[in-house]
Structure formats: structure tokens, C-alpha cells
Amino acid sequence: MKKIFMKWAFFMLCMAVTMPAMAQFNVKALKGAAKAVKAVTLTDAQMAEYVKEYIDWMDTHNQVCADDNEYTIRLKKLTEGLTDVEGIPLNFKVYYVIDVNAFACADGSVRIFSSLMDIMTDDELLGVIGHEVGHVAHKDSKNGFRTALLTSALKDGISSQGGTAAKLSDSQLGDLGEALVNSTYSQKQERSADDYGYEFLKSHGKNPWAMALSFQKLKKLQEEAGAQKSSKLNQLFSTHPDLDVRIQRMEERATSEGIEKPAVAE
């Protein structure tokens, strides 16, 4: 079944001329009792294989905008110069889906949802990207993926030959998607990702005010929707720490450094 995916974790071809109707973001949801996790040791090479398999599955089961599509062209221009983070190559794609979200994987794959691009300015989107890149840089994405893998897709253990990771079944990929949807980052991880994103954008010639602007937009959306703490919209960014605190931290930092705030479209 199809399920709306509202967690940063995570991200069919989109025709450039005749645009088909948007679909919901596709994470295969499966039912079944969870089993005890077995002790499993995953090498970095195996982890890399699993991350690649997962992002390939996501790109196949969600509508990816073509290179000449307006969304892709906009994102490519926006991310010009953002080629890698801590030696990890970055690659960007747009999912043409109705859900408002974005996510990054441990291999540097960053997926932005078209509906998020519809409601955010370029600066606000850069804030989203900066934050996600921060999680990749600090290996939060990698560690979160490893945990989800061991507690969901590989809950029955792993089989391998010659150190090669066992190929995941469709069911295991579905369980993995569910676990990633429900995963969270700690307050410390979120704060560190914000700080890294700020410096990352600044060092690449982007205005780091983008971090505060992205949080401000999310807060505005929450207020307009009357969103509560448990709202799915609130899960676009973690609730730890509170958005007001995150906005204040990023604003004070940019102001203290004398960085000019970009003009905000009304």
C-alpha cells in the first residue's frame, strides 16, 4: 500500500512537457510482528551496498523528475557548487509527489519533493538542504540507517557470502522504509546538523540566513494549519529542539556575523 512519508530520512520518470498527476510518496508499508534483533556485524562495504540498494528502490518506486524538467533545473541551479560533504559525493533529485518533505541518505543522495519546492523559496530550500547535509556529515544518516536495517529489514539475521551483503527482499525494503519513517534524531544531533548546515552553506558561497528562513517557513505552515506537536507537518523537521529556539539561534548567529538577510517574498 502507499503511505505518505513525512520524515527527513528519507527520497518513474517525470515527463518534461506533459506532466502527469502527482502521486503520494511511496514507501511500501508492511504488517507483521517485530522479532528480536539478532547480533549482526555490518561492514562499511555492506552498509554501502544496502544504502545503494535502498536509494535505487526509492528512485524506482517514486516519480523522479527528468533532467529537463523545471523542478530539476531549479534544483540544479540552486545546488550549484554543492558537490560533496566530508568527501561524500552529493547527488540531488526531485520526486514529483504531493507530500511536503525532503531527505538525505548516508551515500550523499539528497531527494527533494516537488510539493516542498512549490511552497519554499530558493533560500528556504537551501536551509532544508543544509540541515540534511549536516546529518550526512555527522554520520547521523548512516547510523540511523544501520539501526533501521538491524531492527527491521534484517531482524531475522543476515546472510552473506564472501563479505558481500545479502540482497534485500521487497518485504525487507518495506520494513526498512517503515523503520526510517519512525526514526528520530536527538536534540544534540539536530542542533549539530543546524550548525553544520549553516557553515556548509556559508563556505560554499550561499547565504546561511537560509537556515533560519527555512525554519520560519515551517513554523508559518504549522500556524496556518493549526498544527500541534504531533502533527505530521511538524515531522518535516524534528521537534527537538523547538523551532523557535532553532530560529533564534540561526538568526543571532547570522546577525552577529553581519550577514545581510535576503529579501523575503511576501
Of 110, 115, 103, nearest to 22 (Cα)? 115
Confirm whether 132 is a catalytic residue.
yes
- Give the helix/strand (H/E) hosting 109: strand 109-113
| Marked catalytic residue, from 49, 124, 132, 190 | 132
Using omega within 30 degrees of 0 as the cis cutoff, is the peptide bond preceding 208 cis? no
* Dist CA 232 CA 230 (whole Å): 6
159 CB-near residues (< 8 Å, 6+ apart)? 166
Q: What is the C-alpha R_g of the chain?
A: 18
* Dist CA 264 CA 178 (whole Å): 36
b/e string for 25-57 if b means 16 or more Cβ within 10 A? bbbbebeeeeeeeeeeebeeebbebbbebbbeb
Question: 19: helix, coil or strand?
Answer: coil
Give the count of beta carbons closer than 10 Å to the beta carbon of residue 76: 12
Of 192, 174, 179, 180, nearest to 249 (Cα)? 192
So which residues are the catalytic ones?
132
